[in-house]
Amino acid sequence: MALLRAILALAVLTEVSPVPTRGINKHSQSDEDINYWAKLAKEDILDKISQSPINKKVKNVIIVIGDGMGINTITPGRVYKGQRNGKMGEEETLALDKFPYTGLIKTYNTDHQVPDSAGTATAILTGTKTKMGFLGIDNSVESKTCDPQKIEAAKLENIFSKAIRNKKETGIVTTTRITHATPGAGYAATPNRDWESDNDLSEEVASAGCVEIAKQMVYNSPGKDINVLFGGGLSKFLKTNDGGVRKDEDLISTWKSFKSNVSSEFLSSRRDLEGWKNKNTKYVLGLFGDSHLPYQVERDPERDPSFSDMSLAALDRLQGAYDRGESEGFVLLLESGRIDQGHHENYAKKAFEEFIELDRAVKHIMEKVNLEDTLVLVTADHSHAVTMNGYPKRGNNILGYIYEEGVGNYVTLPNGKKIPYSTISYANGPGYEDHFVNGTMVDIRNLDYESDNYKSPSMWMGPEKYETHGGEDVAIFAAGPQSHLFTGVHEQSFITHGILYGMCQIKDIPASFCSSSSKLTSLSPLMVFCIIYALLK
């Protein structure tokens, strides 16, 4: 009887937040004996020693950016994915986990310790770090000032311009507005990322002659030469009487007129995208919402394409042209942009769902591409001020809480009451309002912490009730030719230079795979035999 009372007391002192059951969990802690861990380690060793660098020329490049996808998103995102699949969670494997090479990237802007997406995307796509809020220009210009002459002098050539010059095709896909920071860095030059449409320009800026981001995409190179453009932000291209925000012109009509002498198509829904897939038009512009695309958990499958839908459609279009010999290769940028926005609003669940969708897209991409000629990079522009903390038990609901009286795993309120605390929390952001009333912490058990719209706790409101970015290094995952270059710790600006080296675009660094003789050694033995036989004959 005494033993029974002790067991019941322990159950009261230790409370675990339940995990929703979504399948059969065939793995348990009892399986994790000495043989289990030794087997896992041996498999890893065999996998690593079987790897060797693919020392060949990069023909195609896919850059996947998880906006705000720090390691502090990847780890709880992995657990969340596992728990959605009915597992304890921690043992789950991501598509990212299977990449052969990984490294760390330093993300600061030239003027800020903790960066924004504009400066970081510019570093990734041009190879030059710059100021916060800048797209496609170096840091010689004053922030948010309009001097067209100085902006022109500060312009940076990006990887899309270089690709187009080398007869490669290009594409940009995003779940944000196509004029937002990361996609905008692919084609625009501006000292203010917020100048997305003419409606965003003050009279002073407009009269000084600065051109906003949407117009640059339609009128200027490389934007007007990009083959595939998918995202949101339709309102930035339409006039006010057509449901947009523009004052000057309908940029969709302008884009169509500019492409009237070549095969092209404009898309505005998932149905349009499905109907276009096999058309192989030279140019395609898909704007699938007035602003950002909906979060994955809020998406209408009939109307709204997912990140995977858009990414794979873009890849199929560019890969198909390359396989048919219609291009010299391609450069494709894919941004899962709403991971970032979920974190900004302290919507951890939404951010994790966006992350899982990115990982799903990466899985399908890796099944489609030829890693002998295609370099695949997955990274983040920056991190976020989110933590996976406390001492939760193995398999504890990642969205839930920790409460263990026996070991002090709880929060003591001023009135002496003991309450649980959340595994996921933020340094700042709007979640503070839901979790603190008159400065006193709210019991999470009284909140619907598995709701899509649940805001995780934060310690203060954040600037303008908006959670901030994080400044720590982010991960980079690499596979394909020259992917071994992306191990170690690098400046974010290194990414473009590593790609250009693989594409034989850095002339002062010798590369054996760039010589004409290397083309023969990269052929299959049968093809080499046939060539030699034909020459001798």
Catalytic residue set: 117
Please tell me whether 111 is known to bind a ligand.
no
Please tell me whether 67 is known to bind a ligand.
yes
389 φ, ψ to 5°? -135, 180
Please tell me whether 484 is known to bind a ligand.
no
Please tell me whether 340 is known to bind a ligand.
yes
Please tell me whether 381 is known to bind a ligand.
yes
Which of 89-113 are b and which e, b meaning 16 or more Cβ less than 10 Å from the residue's Cβ? bebbebbbeebbbbbbbbbbbeeee
67 φ, ψ to 5°? -65, 120
Length of the chain: 537
Check: CB of residue 99 under 8 Å from CB of residue 478. yes
Q: What are 482's two structure tokens?
A: 């020259």
Residue type, position 266, single letter: F
Listed residue (308, 479, 248) closest to 379, CA to CA:
479
Q: How far is CA 426 from the centre of its chain?
A: 20
Please tell me whether 112 is known to bind a ligand.
no
Q: Show the 3-state SS of 89-152.
A: CCCCCCCHHHCCEEEEEECCCCCCCCCCHHHHHHHHHHCCCCCCCCECECCCCCCCCCCHHHHH
185 φ, ψ to 5°? -65, -15
Contacts 24+ apart (CB under 8 A), 412-419: 413/440, 413/441, 414/440, 419/443, 419/444, 419/445
Check: CB of residue 170 under 8 Å from CB of residue 329. no
Check: CB of residue 74 under 8 Å from CB of residue 475. yes
Please tell me whether 490 is known to bind a ligand.
no
Q: How far apart are CA 355 and CA 335, in angstroms?
A: 11
Task: Enumerate the known binding-site residues for Zn(2+).
Answer: 67, 340, 381-382, 469
- Sequence ranges of the binding site for Mg(2+): 67, 180, 182, 335, 344
